[in-house]
A and B are shown apart, each in its own frame.
Chain A
């Protein structure tokens, strides 16, 4: 039997169809209006999850890009500062080179002292560079200037903390250079204060004289009170003995050369007044400390003692007279106390090996006329006397070894210039060059970081593009598809309306 079609039935069926058709049209119109495929959570739960996840990933990615941009200023500032330091060190090197050469005078060195002081101050300023109020070379102590003057020396009060910035999930980049590299890697040092230059002996090499500055070989002229005059050729001399023999031989005993009682220089004896001068335009007489005139029968030369060398016997050192054998010293590093016993030492070399054996990483350096203790550690260390005799005081190494190396080197240079000491200036020159190399390597490190940053930025940008296109795939409506579907839905709705209106109009009553 055919189904009975009541008017109610007809309207229910047709209205139901109309509703569905209109609902579909609405959904498509909403997609076309918002250009979003998913407008409600319920439309596509899987896509909602994906959209939320992509949104979060994009937000995180943007955060990393923001971090990168913000932090790159740290790296750029460090780069600029290090470039400045590098050019200042180049200036220092040029200055040291100039002032250690023969053309330098006491006057020019005094001028250089002022220049070095200025350079030190400029470096101090540069190393205390701030970015938005943050000191960039102080490790994580960014709120206090990392380099400050403390009782005349420059100390580092920052730390070795790395400042990092997040550039990806679990990925970080270091953006700072800690100021301790200007200190620690150049080691902590304690420079002695006692003149330990050994007494001269006949066997002392002429090249060691004048605290290692050596001498100028040549010919000297000696006159005595009897108007005798001799040209003594010392060009071939190697030791002091050679010099003394040459004088004794050339003068035929009229003038005898020997060492003075304190062993600090030469002494000539003959009939006064004795006069020694250069025979050529060299500096032979003056470098032997005997240029000049003495009214008496004795001519006492100035102090031309040799520098310190490992082979120097402790007994040859005037400052230690009456105190031998030496006792022990106490070294404190980071709260640890070590006693180093020097009682068995006979030479400076013995002192060096005893210290190296007792304190690994520690080194006793023989400077021109004194000792200094250097530690490879960045820790400050303290050296004290340990019982009688006061060995640390005797050796001039009692005190605090601070790790202020870069400024230490510059201070050394300054002092060397001030004391008109070309040998020490040359010594500093080597250290300044090492410093320059270190700064260069830091610049390379910073450059590498800048490249890393650029690379990471590219990666993050690519990732952003990828994430956005994936998000768009999940979220956005396909314009072409939506518009064609919309046209179809509109057509279907209109035809439903047409059919419904026709059917509702017609019934049998109209035809009776």
Chain B
């Protein structure tokens, strides 16, 4: 049969447990707003009872552990969904940049420059002939060419910006990988005793979530508590060791371009979904695509106008090339024409009142060029519509993906988040337990007193 002392001991254990519970509650309340913090709960278990012939009598409570309420499945889902979201967001924001470069619905400057260029030809072609209008054709052509050149240059800038961003993302990725390696070591050390290092694990989970946003990862936990971080089959963190990424320039199908490689071995990395892949895709696919389409528009314009203009006759000299170059980067107005606008040819006959060439060039504004069935302006417009459709679908993807991420985040917040109501209830519960245990000790004291007074 247990002694009074053992009753007192039981009560004391209850006071300890209530204290631990209060401390956990305080920790939870304190970290209610800490990013990546996972709600902790104190796990208590009844002590091993003393067994007698009549049965067993409990010996009080033991604090077994303080556990994190983490749901690894939800966390993995969140990471892969966030990787997708970051991928889409990068592409969407690049498309938004491209859209800004090309103007807006009300400020479609290249379209306007094309219209004005053909309009200047139409004015030149309209009788009565006024050779002063040749200067206007040249001016409008220069505006158009300048717009093409500046769009090309701005797209170049955009590509360089994207590459700079890739560089910045790599710096944070490398730092995150190094931090995960560091935390792995700390956790291994902290958990030697067998108890989980909750707050360190929270930090590591947070870092891995951040890594996932840059490039989707898979993780594998080892028995020693360390976590391997794997990016597209390549183990980047192994216990306390980690590998780093860097960039280099390689010959690709699109010319000499910046690619992501591993540090040291310089092996090219196929990036999984995430911000990095989004950035590189928007450079390699979306910027390139727009550039190719606008190059096509410029080439069509150059060829169609030149083909007609060289047939022309001005005075004794035959028609020159109107444009030089073969892309929106290289397109220029023939410098000879800029110096001598009178050499702008309006007709095959060279007669002052004849304007067949000018008419035909002006007609390029609304007749199809080079048998494509599309006018030059149509070709440009289809670039805009293509861009608009892509932007539209990416906005839609981003919005949907945001909802998916929010749903998983809510789910996680529901599982791991701190509820102040819940903590208040726990607090009251632990307070009551503590008070009851204290009362128990006071009661045992009274019993002791009675016993002593008997003597």
Which A residues are within 8 Å of any B CB, using their own CB?
Answer: 3-9, 12-13, 16, 34, 36, 38-46, 48-49, 51-53, 55-57, 59-60, 63, 66-67, 70-71, 73-74, 131-136, 138-143, 159, 161, 163-166, 169-170, 172, 175-176, 475, 507-509, 512
* B352 in contact with A40 (CB, 8 Å): no
Given A8-B418, A9-B417: A134 in contact with B104 (beta carbons within 8 A)? no
* A165 in contact with B126 (CB, 8 Å): yes
Residues of A within 8 A of B127 (CB): 70-71, 74, 134, 163-165, 175-176
Residues of A within 8 A of B119 (CB): 59, 63
Looking at B198-206, B300-308, B420-428, the stretch in contact with chain A turns out to be B420-428
* B105 in contact with A49 (CB, 8 Å): no
Measured between alpha carbons, how far is A40 from B104 in the docked complex, in Å? 6
Measured between alpha carbons, how far is A161 from B421 in the docked complex, in Å? 94
* A170 in contact with B367 (CB, 8 Å): yes
Looking at B212-220, B256-264, B322-330, B406-414, the stretch in contact with chain A turns out to be B406-414
* B413 in contact with A6 (CB, 8 Å): yes
Residues of B within 8 A of A139 (CB): 351, 353
* A143 in contact with B352 (CB, 8 Å): yes
* B122 in contact with A166 (CB, 8 Å): yes
* A66 in contact with B126 (CB, 8 Å): yes
* A6 in contact with B417 (CB, 8 Å): yes
* A12 in contact with B410 (CB, 8 Å): yes
Residues of A within 8 A of B160 (CB): none
> 11 pairs across A/B with beta carbons < 8 Å?
A4-B414, A5-B419, A8-B413, A8-B417, A12-B413, A41-B387, A56-B365, A57-B366, A74-B128, A132-B130, A507-B420
Residues of A within 8 A of B413 (CB): 6, 8-9, 12
Q: Which of these, A52, A70, A508, A512, contacts B384 with CB under 8 Å? A: A52
Q: Which of these, B111, B349, B428, contacts A161 with CB under 8 Å? A: B349
**In the complex, residue of chain B having the shortest beta-carbon distance to the beta carbon of A70:** B126
Given A60-B365, A175-B127: A6 in contact with B419 (beta carbons within 8 A)? yes
**In the complex, residue of chain B having the shortest beta-carbon distance to the beta carbon of A168:** B366
Measured between alpha carbons, how far is A164 from B359 in the docked complex, in Å? 9
Q: Which of these, A9, A45, A57, contacts B392 with CB under 8 Å? A: A45
Residues of A within 8 A of B39 (CB): 6
Given A42-B392, A166-B363, A172-B359: A512 in contact with B428 (beta carbons within 8 A)? yes
Interface residues of B in 374-421 (CB under 8 A from A): 377, 381-382, 384-385, 387-389, 391-392, 394-395, 406, 409-410, 413-421
**In the complex, residue of chain A having the shortest beta-carbon distance to the beta carbon of B69:** A4
Residues of B within 8 A of A170 (CB): 363, 367
Min Cβ gap A236→B in Å is: 65
Measured between alpha carbons, how far is A71 from B420 in the docked complex, in Å? 82
Q: Which of B32, B362, B388 has the most C-beta atoms of chain A within 10 angstroms of its own C-beta? A: B388
Q: Which of these, A51, A131, A135, contacts B105 with CB under 8 Å? A: A51
* A141 in contact with B351 (CB, 8 Å): yes
Q: Which of these, A42, A133, A143, contacts B388 with CB under 8 Å? A: A42
Residues of B within 8 A of A71 (CB): 126-128
Is B123 an interface residue when CB atoms closer than 8 A count as contact? Answer: yes
Measured between alpha carbons, how far is A135 from B128 in the docked complex, in Å? 9
* B359 in contact with A166 (CB, 8 Å): yes
**In the complex, residue of chain A having the shortest beta-carbon distance to the beta carbon of B32:** A7
Given A5-B414, A48-B385, A74-B127: A509 in contact with B420 (beta carbons within 8 A)? yes
Is B129 an interface residue when CB atoms closer than 8 A count as contact? Answer: yes
* B353 in contact with A176 (CB, 8 Å): yes
* B129 in contact with A52 (CB, 8 Å): no
Is B268 an interface residue when CB atoms closer than 8 A count as contact? Answer: no
Q: Which of these, B362, B388, B422, contacts A41 with CB under 8 Å? A: B388
Measured between alpha carbons, how far is A165 from B32 in the docked complex, in Å? 78
**In the complex, residue of chain A having the shortest beta-carbon distance to the beta carbon of B126:** A67
* B410 in contact with A9 (CB, 8 Å): yes
* B367 in contact with A169 (CB, 8 Å): yes
Q: Is the interface of B mostly helix, strand, loop or mixed?
A: helix
Interface residues of B in 330-384 (CB under 8 A from A): 347, 349, 351-355, 359, 362-363, 365-367, 377, 381-382, 384
Is B296 an interface residue when CB atoms closer than 8 A count as contact? Answer: no
* A38 in contact with B354 (CB, 8 Å): no
* A42 in contact with B128 (CB, 8 Å): no
Min Cβ gap B322→A in Å is: 19
Residues of B within 8 A of A131 (CB): 128
* B366 in contact with A508 (CB, 8 Å): no
Measured between alpha carbons, how far is A136 from B406 in the docked complex, in Å? 75
Contacts beyond the supplied A67-B126, A70-B127: 7 A-B pairs with Cβ under 8 Å: A56-B115, A66-B126, A70-B126, A142-B128, A175-B127, A508-B425, A512-B424
Residues of B within 8 A of A51 (CB): 105
Residues of A within 8 A of B420 (CB): 7, 507-509
* B122 in contact with A67 (CB, 8 Å): yes
Measured between alpha carbons, how far is A8 from B421 in the docked complex, in Å? 12
* B391 in contact with A41 (CB, 8 Å): yes
* A161 in contact with B354 (CB, 8 Å): yes
Residues of B within 8 A of A36 (CB): 105-106
Residues of A within 8 A of B108 (CB): 52, 55
Measured between alpha carbons, how far is A52 from B128 in the docked complex, in Å? 31
**In the complex, residue of chain B having the shortest beta-carbon distance to the beta carbon of A138:** B353
Min Cβ gap B76→A in Å is: 19
Q: Which of these, B111, B128, B385, contacts A56 with CB under 8 Å? A: B111
What 1/0 mask marks residues of chain B from 57 to 91 whose CB sits below 8 Å from any chain A CB? 00000000000000000000000000000000000
Is B125 an interface residue when CB atoms closer than 8 A count as contact? Answer: yes
**In the complex, residue of chain B having the shortest beta-carbon distance to the beta carbon of A507:** B420
Measured between alpha carbons, how far is A431 from B233 in the docked complex, in Å? 102
* B385 in contact with A140 (CB, 8 Å): no
Is B147 an interface residue when CB atoms closer than 8 A count as contact? Answer: no
Measured between alpha carbons, how far is A3 from B419 in the docked complex, in Å? 12
* B351 in contact with A49 (CB, 8 Å): no
Q: Which of B347, B365, B366 has the most C-beta atoms of chain A within 10 angstroms of its own C-beta? A: B366
**In the complex, residue of chain A having the shortest beta-carbon distance to the beta carbon of B417:** A6
Is B169 an interface residue when CB atoms closer than 8 A count as contact? Answer: no
**In the complex, residue of chain B having the shortest beta-carbon distance to the beta carbon of A510:** B424
Measured between alpha carbons, how far is A169 from B419 in the docked complex, in Å? 71
* B384 in contact with A48 (CB, 8 Å): yes
Residues of B within 8 A of A141 (CB): 351-353
What 1/0 mask marks residues of chain B from 235 to 254 whose CB sits below 8 Å from any chain A CB? 00000000000000000000
What 1/0 mask marks residues of chain B from 90 to 125 whose CB sits below 8 Å from any chain A CB? 000001100100001110100100010011001101
Q: Which of B406, B415, B419, B425 has the most C-beta atoms of chain A within 10 angstroms of its own C-beta? A: B419
Residues of B within 8 A of A46 (CB): 385
Residues of B within 8 A of A13 (CB): 410
* B129 in contact with A142 (CB, 8 Å): yes
* B126 in contact with A166 (CB, 8 Å): yes
* B99 in contact with A41 (CB, 8 Å): yes
Residues of A within 8 A of B129 (CB): 132, 134, 142
* A53 in contact with B381 (CB, 8 Å): yes
Measured between alpha carbons, how far is A142 from B419 in the docked complex, in Å? 91
**In the complex, residue of chain B having the shortest beta-carbon distance to the beta carbon of A509:** B424
Residues of B within 8 A of A4 (CB): 414-415, 419, 422
Measured between alpha carbons, how far is A3 from B415 in the docked complex, in Å? 9
Measured between alpha carbons, how far is A7 from B422 in the docked complex, in Å? 10
Q: Which of these, B111, B123, B419, contacts A52 with CB under 8 Å? A: B111
Given A45-B392, A52-B111: A140 in contact with B354 (beta carbons within 8 A)? yes
Residues of B within 8 A of A159 (CB): 351
Residues of A within 8 A of B382 (CB): 49
Residues of A within 8 A of B425 (CB): 508
Measured between alpha carbons, how far is A170 from B362 in the docked complex, in Å? 11
* A44 in contact with B392 (CB, 8 Å): yes
Residues of A within 8 A of B384 (CB): 41, 48-49, 52
